[in-house]
Chain A
Amino acid sequence: MTELSKIRNFSIIAHIDHGKSTLADRLLEECNAISHREMENQILDSMDLERERGITIKATAATLEYTADDGDTYALNLIDTPGHVDFNYEVSRSLAACEGAVLVVDASQGVEAQTLANTYLAIDAGLEVLPVINKIDLPSARPAEVKAEVEDIIGIPAEDSPEISAKNGINIHSVLEMIVRDVPAPSGDREAPLQALIFDSQYDSYRGVIVYTRIKQGTVKPGMDIQMMATGAKYKVVEVGTMSPKGLIPREALGAGEVGYITASIKTVADTQVGDTITTVENPCAEPLPGYRPVQPMVFSGVYPADGAKYQDMRDALEKLKLNDASFVYEPESSIALGFGFRCGFLGLLHMEIIQERLEREYNLDLITTAPNVVYRITKTDGTVLMVDNPLDYPDPMEISRAEEPYVKISLIAPQEYVGSMMDLATSRRGDFKDMVYLDANRVELHYEMPLNEIIYDFFDALKSRTRGYGSLDYELIGYRDSKLVKLDILLNGDIVDALSFILFADNAYPRARKICEKLKENIPRAQFEIPVQAAIGGKIIARETIKAVRKDVLAKCYGGDITRKKKLLEKQKEGKKRMRTFGTVSVPSEAFMAVLKLDED
């Protein structure tokens, strides 16, 4: 075990694109945790999806051995954090495993929304926040001004902050020295009862679940009987150790202050929830670590294989994904239009997109997704209460005596010049203004209460575009409130397509119905006949569009040399038809289902 005074536990936080992952790469390189040759860019973000989107979805960690200028060797535990509001809870747990955070600020962009949001999370977690000014090699860099900004807006000293270029490896050494010097060494009693924080876990087909943990008190060794305090699950420890970018390194024990992993033949990540506390069965700690919150999916949608024959493959894929992601839930459902599929619950929209993309890429499935839905509470006239997460289960309006929808308290932060547009946005989404706080001369925080349903579609994107990326959003559930709800049905060529039905606030029904009809018109290919697209509430048509009959779809020229090429075009058209669902006589491509989810894009 490493001596407490020689351990530093830290995260890197930043606004998107300010160079968080690149800096992480450089730190690994500088400590020879990984050689340049082995270096795959942004090694910590190991999922393809993460690398592509430039965001970190799952937290990861690595221990770096660093011999500092003072001649001592330190164990630097770098804990990477996810960077999206959907995963705020996960971020807070990762930060709770650290004593310090390196705040990366882009030398030309300066302080931005996520810089602040993440900094506040770090400060709330009691971390020492150490600014680093990155991208100083860019011609537009203005390090001195940006340092002043950090001091003014965030209120932390930045005068001596390292000026670096993570991309070109400039001044990386000074970042490491700063970490050794300024991140407090962890404290803790290695003789005390075990108290270890789970900040992530991952399923491995050979070892079972690998739990990533920060030991707060006590010591954990192989052979110990441990239990998870929130879930109550008990296991015998098989192995403990530390993480390196190249893999896991077994150790004899992990003690207070250390970051590492535990394996214990755990079958499912559901037993090892992020934020839970691990202790021993024999000598349990008095109380769990603060801040644990059970997983609560907020958004539900139907997910179907585009090719009905792939149902079983999809079930297998979901099972495997679930092993690795305790935060999503699923159960089988069926739709007249789409056949057999699953009702899935997600933390938020990004989470939903990620799961879908992983299913499509890693498991090679084509999916059709229905409109996301929050969980409504419906009281029927006979007094029974239903929790409705699926429009198909929505009762007949005549049987409903009370309808309630979940509300959230949201906090919006942005420079004051965007207050007007943020207020417009919140008001247009049924936001109920609570208060406004000046964080400093320039930055304002607004509080609203609004239906969760209003933020699950595209609220975050709309906020970003209205505040030029400066706005940040956080929200928490505050309970159910009475609402006027209706179920909107969509008819194609006169037939209801159940998979397109959804529940919404009654006053929004008309504009939304119109938009959906327009979107479907754009996305459903013209057929040889006219197709009416209608939206209806309880049998009453409230919007209508018509898809004109196609009259021209022909390859005018096809001679000897063209045959192969023209055949490919037709084959492509044929493949496109495989991705379509036929409702009566109307073929609907899976893209159409996605398009109706993104109504406010234009």
Chain B
Amino acid sequence: MALITTKKDKHPLGIYVHIPFCRSRCQYCDFYSTTCKEDKLIDGYMKAVCSHIEETGPLAPNHIVDTIYFGGGTPSFFGAEGLATILTAIRRNFDVAGDAEITFEANPDSVSDNLLRRLRAEGFNRVSLGIQSDDDVILEQLGRPHDYAQAVTAFQRIRKAGFDNVSVDLMFGLPNQTMNTWMQTLENVLTLKPDHISCYMLRLEEGTPMYDIRNFLRIPDDDMQADMYLQTVEVLKKYGFRQYEISNFARKSKLSKHNMKYWTGGEWIGFGPSASSDFAGKRYVCVPDLKKYVTAIRNKGQVISDISELPIRERAGDYLMLRLRTTTGIAREEYERQYLLPFDPLEEVLRRYQETGHVRFTNERWRLTPEGFLISSAIISDLLLEQDKSEPLAKRRFSH
């Protein structure tokens, strides 16, 4: 066994920074953020995140950070200075790989040339731009603080600033949307030539303003949404986008390395209120309140609101739920080796869905088809049910 740990042996690690500030709140959003922009608050927050990073760095001496993701909230609204300062803190306290993927989320109304140039210079190399729709009426209804023209300008600015890995977020299943208008939106956005597209079916989350008025919105029904989804997959394929997750499509190799960590059991550490981490076998969440978070950091108090060491069965459930979101899918050998649970009962379920065209089996891996992704919750919960009932392999061997 090697006594010296070389950089090559280091474990990959993702870092997520939550920027809980927005210009305004979108009508469908249930993420944690605030619309207040007092300089004092922003400055206090930046300092808190930096000290949190400083405290945490020493815990990961054998890790190499290969992805960093600034999400929100609206990182672009937070400003270049703040983002750059936090990134510097990360570099100072963690071992960051030279070719690390460093992403920030941006909204069309808060990307200036200055901001983009500065962030590019700091080493940011990927942008995720929230466009959502090309229809200004819908954008207003969603409570987005921009119109489509601004989105187009923003995209062009991002390219001009030298970002060669740009993703756009779109939504479908929106009020008054038809198959035609959605296809038109998709075609329009594709003319921008993004490298990556995330297409989300609108989901009304309880507690959001849109949820409360859902009965007054003319939202396409489930069958229509399903058709829209399948059509989306087709069109994007035609344009050279490979689907790699339920809602994510990438050209060439431009899939989000950071997000892939979430779905393939990678490790990551999150900073900021409500940010989650999965690190050293534990999953934990930072307190989901800006002021409490800042105060806790300042007073060296309790920053973590919820922590658990996941038992192996729980991990096995996560494996099914998360891997099946991706086109990589799941494999018998992987599953039995990692979780010591039998794959046979799962295979029975998978075969059933294979017959109905929801699952395919290629290269020794089970994957969901686009039709399967559409009912993935049903399939995964069926698998979880079988998993619950199954006896560990070792136990079975001993009893024979």
* Residues of chain B within 8 A of A555, CB atoms compared: 203, 246, 376-377
Which of B45-53, B87-95, B208-216, B268-276 lies at the binding interface?
B268-276
Does B356 sit at the interface, judged by CB under 8 A? yes
A551-B374, A560-B270, A578-B385 in contact; A567/B318 too (CB < 8 A)? yes
B276's partner among A528, A561, A573 (CB-CB below 8 A) is A561
Does B78 sit at the interface, judged by CB under 8 A? no
* Residues of chain B within 8 A of A566, CB atoms compared: 321
Within 8 A of B (CB), among A524-562: 528-529, 550-561
* Residues of chain A within 8 A of B283, CB atoms compared: 563-564
Cross-chain contact A570 with B203 (CB below 8 angstroms): no
Cross-chain contact B376 with A574 (CB below 8 angstroms): no
Does A362 sit at the interface, judged by CB under 8 A? no
Does A123 sit at the interface, judged by CB under 8 A? no
* Residues of chain A within 8 A of B114, CB atoms compared: none
* Residues of chain A within 8 A of B377, CB atoms compared: 553-555, 569-570, 573
The distance from the CB of B265 to the nearest CB of chain A, in whole angstroms, is 11
Docked pose: A563 CA to B353 CA in angstroms: 24
Q: Chain A residue with minimal CB distance to B357? A: A528
Cross-chain contact A553 with B321 (CB below 8 angstroms): no
* Residues of chain B within 8 A of A554, CB atoms compared: 201, 246, 373-377
Within 8 A of A (CB), among B205-236: 222-223, 225-226, 229
Within 8 A of A (CB), among B375-390: 375-378, 380-382, 384-385, 388
Q: Chain B residue with minimal CB distance to A580? A: B385
Best-buried of A550, A561, A574 by chain B (most CB within 10 Å): A561
Within 8 A of B (CB), among A500-544: 528-529
A550-B375, A553-B377 in contact; A560/B321 too (CB < 8 A)? no
A556-B200, A563-B318 in contact; A551/B353 too (CB < 8 A)? no
Within 8 A of A (CB), among B353-400: 353, 356, 358, 371, 373-378, 380-382, 384-385, 388
Contact with B along A559-602 (1 / 0, CB 8 A): 11101101101110110111000000000000000000000000
Q: Chain A residue with minimal CB distance to B380? A: A570
Best-buried of A556, A567, A570 by chain B (most CB within 10 Å): A556
The distance from the CB of B277 to the nearest CB of chain A, in whole angstroms, is 8
* Residues of chain B within 8 A of A571, CB atoms compared: 317, 384
The distance from the CB of B108 to the nearest CB of chain A, in whole angstroms, is 20
Best-buried of A528, A555, A558, A569 by chain B (most CB within 10 Å): A528
Docked pose: A560 CA to B246 CA in angstroms: 15
* Residues of chain B within 8 A of A560, CB atoms compared: 16, 261-262, 268, 270, 275-278
Best-buried of B18, B222, B275, B358 by chain A (most CB within 10 Å): B222
Docked pose: A155 CA to B18 CA in angstroms: 75
Contact with A along B249-271 (1 / 0, CB 8 A): 00000000001011100001010
The distance from the CB of A63 to the nearest CB of chain B, in whole angstroms, is 52
B375's partner among A551, A556, A557, A558 (CB-CB below 8 A) is A551
Cross-chain contact B226 with A551 (CB below 8 angstroms): yes
The distance from the CB of B117 to the nearest CB of chain A, in whole angstroms, is 28
The distance from the CB of A374 to the nearest CB of chain B, in whole angstroms, is 38
Cross-chain contact B276 with A556 (CB below 8 angstroms): no
* Residues of chain A within 8 A of B274, CB atoms compared: 561
Cross-chain contact A558 with B378 (CB below 8 angstroms): no
* Residues of chain B within 8 A of A573, CB atoms compared: 377-378, 381
Docked pose: A564 CA to B373 CA in angstroms: 20
Within 8 A of B (CB), among A381-427: none
Docked pose: A569 CA to B317 CA in angstroms: 13
B381's partner among A558, A559, A570 (CB-CB below 8 A) is A570
Does B285 sit at the interface, judged by CB under 8 A? yes
Cross-chain contact B222 with A574 (CB below 8 angstroms): no
Docked pose: A570 CA to B320 CA in angstroms: 11
A560-B268, A561-B275, A564-B276 in contact; A552/B381 too (CB < 8 A)? no
* Residues of chain A within 8 A of B277, CB atoms compared: 560
Docked pose: A571 CA to B387 CA in angstroms: 12
Docked pose: A38 CA to B226 CA in angstroms: 59
A557's partner among B247, B270, B358, B382 (CB-CB below 8 A) is B247
* Residues of chain B within 8 A of A550, CB atoms compared: 222, 375, 378
Docked pose: A549 CA to B378 CA in angstroms: 12
The distance from the CB of A574 to the nearest CB of chain B, in whole angstroms, is 4
A554-B246, A558-B322 in contact; A577/B385 too (CB < 8 A)? yes
Q: Chain A residue with minimal CB distance to B306? A: A564
Docked pose: A569 CA to B381 CA in angstroms: 9
Cross-chain contact A558 with B262 (CB below 8 angstroms): yes
The distance from the CB of A153 to the nearest CB of chain B, in whole angstroms, is 45
Within 8 A of A (CB), among B143-175: none
Does B325 sit at the interface, judged by CB under 8 A? yes
Cross-chain contact B374 with A563 (CB below 8 angstroms): no
* Residues of chain A within 8 A of B385, CB atoms compared: 574, 577-578
Docked pose: A563 CA to B371 CA in angstroms: 22
Docked pose: A80 CA to B356 CA in angstroms: 61
A552-B226, A561-B285, A574-B381 in contact; A528/B325 too (CB < 8 A)? no
* Residues of chain A within 8 A of B276, CB atoms compared: 560-561, 563-564
The distance from the CB of A547 to the nearest CB of chain B, in whole angstroms, is 14
Cross-chain contact B376 with A563 (CB below 8 angstroms): no
B321's partner among A529, A552, A570, A577 (CB-CB below 8 A) is A570
The distance from the CB of A559 to the nearest CB of chain B, in whole angstroms, is 5
A556-B246, A564-B276 in contact; A551/B222 too (CB < 8 A)? yes
* Residues of chain B within 8 A of A577, CB atoms compared: 381-382, 385
The distance from the CB of B188 to the nearest CB of chain A, in whole angstroms, is 21
Cross-chain contact A528 with B318 (CB below 8 angstroms): no
Cross-chain contact A556 with B201 (CB below 8 angstroms): yes
* Residues of chain A within 8 A of B285, CB atoms compared: 561, 564
Docked pose: A36 CA to B320 CA in angstroms: 57
Docked pose: A145 CA to B22 CA in angstroms: 63
The distance from the CB of B173 to the nearest CB of chain A, in whole angstroms, is 9
* Residues of chain A within 8 A of B223, CB atoms compared: 551-552
The distance from the CB of A524 to the nearest CB of chain B, in whole angstroms, is 14
Cross-chain contact B375 with A559 (CB below 8 angstroms): no
* Residues of chain B within 8 A of A574, CB atoms compared: 381, 384-385, 388
B356's partner among A529, A557, A558 (CB-CB below 8 A) is A529
Cross-chain contact B317 with A556 (CB below 8 angstroms): no
Q: Chain B residue with minimal CB distance to A557? A: B200
The distance from the CB of B285 to the nearest CB of chain A, in whole angstroms, is 7
Extra inter-chain contacts (14) besides given A553-B374, A556-B203, A577-B381, CB under 8 Å: A528-B358, A552-B226, A552-B375, A559-B259, A560-B16, A560-B262, A560-B268, A560-B270, A564-B283, A567-B321, A569-B377, A570-B381, A573-B378, A578-B385
Footprint of A on B, CB under 8 Å?
Answer: 16, 18, 31, 71, 200-201, 203, 222-223, 225-226, 229, 246-247, 259, 261-263, 268, 270, 274-278, 283, 285, 306, 317-318, 321-322, 325, 353, 356, 358, 371, 373-378, 380-382, 384-385, 388
Closest 4 CB pairs of A and B: A551-B226, A573-B381, A552-B222, A556-B201
